[in-house]
């Protein structure tokens, strides 16, 4: 009887330890993957925004929208195009990490953002045409889609709250006052 009680005690101790260890390992694994997702999501948004910023520089250069204050005066169009192409490669690699680690909604939001960022790139390089109004609307759409991506990533990570909605009204492009009232500069 004593031997049975000792064996039962040892067996229950072993089972309890095993289950606790297994649960802890599972939690560590999930935490590690969440950390990787946060890094992937952040790198992707950074890369998308960098690509848009470089497209803006090229577009303003090509359209002579810098009002003579050319901070890019020592840069050629070719160099700006090379910068944009490099940013495109970084952006593509960042999205591949999202594809590997991301949730379905985050991946889909990324695809939608990718299409708009590509249009911005194409207008900046002259592959598609459009007015300054078209250009600005593409940029507005990109930043709305970045917010949509943020929302999907937050849901995937189980983060409460929102970056849009009642407490966070939609923002517009930041433009100097004369451009908001109909001036011609970008």
Q: Give the start-to-end residue ranges of the domains of the chain.
A: 39-180
What pLDDT was estimated at residue 31?
59
Cβ burial of 18 (10 Å; 0-12, 13-18, 19+) is exposed
What pLDDT was estimated at residue 161?
80
Per the model's pLDDT, the better-predicted residue between 87 and 171 turns out to be 87
Closest CA to 116 of 132, 140, 84: 140
Instruction: Give residues with Cβ within 8 angstroms of 86, minimum separation 6.
Output: none
**Which pLDDT tens digit goes with each residue over 60-117?**
999 998 765 555 456 899 999 999 999 999 999 999 999 999 999 999 999 999 999 9
Task: Give me the percent of the chain exceeding a pLDDT of 70.
Answer: 72
In angstroms, the Cα distances linking 101 to 30, 44, 145 are: 12, 12, 19
What pLDDT was estimated at residue 185?
47
Among 16-25, 46-55, 82-91, which is the least confidently predicted range?
A: 16-25
What's the predicted TM-score (pTM) here? 0.74
Average pLDDT value for residue range 12-20: 69
pLDDT at 152 over 80: yes
């Amino acid at each position: 009887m004593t031997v049975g009680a000792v064996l039962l005690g040892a067996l229950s101790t072993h089972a309890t330890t095993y289950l606790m260890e297994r649960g802890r390992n599972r939690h560590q694994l999930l935490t590690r993957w969440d950390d990787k997702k946060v890094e992937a999501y952040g790198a992707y948004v950074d890369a998308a925004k960098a690509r848009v910023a470089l497209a803006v520089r090229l577009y303003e250069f090509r359209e002579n929208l810098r009002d003579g204050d050319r901070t890019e005066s020592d840069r050629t169009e070719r160099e700006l195009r090379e910068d944009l192409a490099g940013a495109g490669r970084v952006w593509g690699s960042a999205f591949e990490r999202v594809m590997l680690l991301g949730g379905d909604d985050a991946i889909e939001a990324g695809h939608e953002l990718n299409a708009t960022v590509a249009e911005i790139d194409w207008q900046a390089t002259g592959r598609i045409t459009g007015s300054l109004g078209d250009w600005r609307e593409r940029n507005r759409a990109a930043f709305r889609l970045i917010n949509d991506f943020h929302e999907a990533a937050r849901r995937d990570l189980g983060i409460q709250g929102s970056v849009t909605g009642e407490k966070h009204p939609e923002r517009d492009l930041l433009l100097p006052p004369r451009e908001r009232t109909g001036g011609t500069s970008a």
